Structure 1
Amino acid sequence: MQNKTIAKRTAALLLALLMAVGIFAGCSKGGGNGEKRSVTVTVTHKDGSTKDFTYETTEEMLGAVLQKEGLIEGEDSQYGLFVKAVDGYTADEGSQEWWCLTVNGETAMTGIDSTPIEEGKSYGLVLTVGY
């Protein structure tokens, strides 16, 4: 009788362990949680020159990886992160300079911290003059 109890407990413990391993394995593969992805951002400077920055990240949003890597600096606003500096250059607000985020060559419809990193899309930060 005691051997059956030990066998049942051992089987239950093994089943629970296998389920836990299955759950963790599923989390690491699906839905973008923890999934590594590559993102390239092209920075267009005031003189028109461009420079590409490529990062491998598990972040889901563009702003998070660019802040973490030190490419951008900004301040939080009611609309999200307002980018003030990119690649060491701070936009001169007095000259109406600002950093424009582009996705696939078009002005982004979302802020940098709410723009998802998606495979096959190109991202840019363009120093723009004039409001």
Structure 2
Amino acid sequence: MKEAKYWLKVFLATLGLFALTVLLLYLFLNKRNPSSPGVKEITVQVIVPGEDVQEFVITTEAYTLRQALEEKDMIKGQTSTYGFYITEVNGRKADESKQEWWCITKDGEEIFTGIDLINIQDKDKYELTLMEGY
């Protein structure tokens, strides 16, 4: 009888740890990949060296930065096996012969994921900077 109670306690403890692990994993993934429904206001700066910085305040219900920028017809590009590649921002095309490309930063820090995977939150600030050289 004591052995059955022991195994019941082990089983319940294991089940509790499993439930706690699933809960923590859910909270961690939800924090890293938030889906924030509703209206959000984001700020986007378009930075081209040698030109004035353009700043846009966008109000949107989009979930990703790509969706928000495409709603305002601010970006053009092409989809590749690596995701969406921005070729033009606000009418300014990147010149491949000069190895120009668009760099996405948030509050000055480079983002290392594709624009499709950048989930936006209210009051986020992004910069799209035309870079030269690969």
- TM-score normalised by structure 1 residue count: 0.71
State how far apart, in whole Å, the 1-side matches of 2:127 and 2:105 are: 5
Residue 32 of structure 1, CA deviation = 2.6
- Give, as a single letter, the amino acid of the residue that structure 2 aligns with 1:54: V
Residue 55 to residue 121, structure 1, CA distance change in 2 (3 Å): closer
Cα distance between partner residues in 2 of 1:122 and 1:89: 20
| Secondary structure in structure 2 of the residue aligned to 1:43 | strand
Taking structure 1 as reference, are residues 60 and 110 closer, same or farther at Cα in structure 2, changes over 3 Å only?
A: same
Q: Name 2:36's counterpart in structure 1.
A: 32
Which runs of structure 2 are paired with 1:90-101 in the superposition (5 Å)?
Answer: 90-101=93-104
Contact 2:63–2:119 under 8 Å retained in 1? yes
* Paired position in structure 2 for 1:19: none
Q: In the TM superposition, what is the alpha-carbon distance from 1:80 to its structure 2 partner?
A: 1.2
Runs of 5+ unmatched residues, structure 2: 1-34
RMSD value over aligned CA atoms? 1.3
* Structure 1 residue ranges (4+ consecutive) displaced by more than 3 angstroms after TM superposition: none
How many residue pairs end up in the alignment?
100
Name the % identity: 35
Match of 1:110 in 2: 113
Q: Does residue 86 of structure 1 match 2:108? A: no
- Tell which has more relative contact order, 1 or 2 (C-alpha 8 A, sep 6+): 2
Query: Is there any run of 5+ residues in structure 1 with no aligned partner, and where?
Result: 1-30
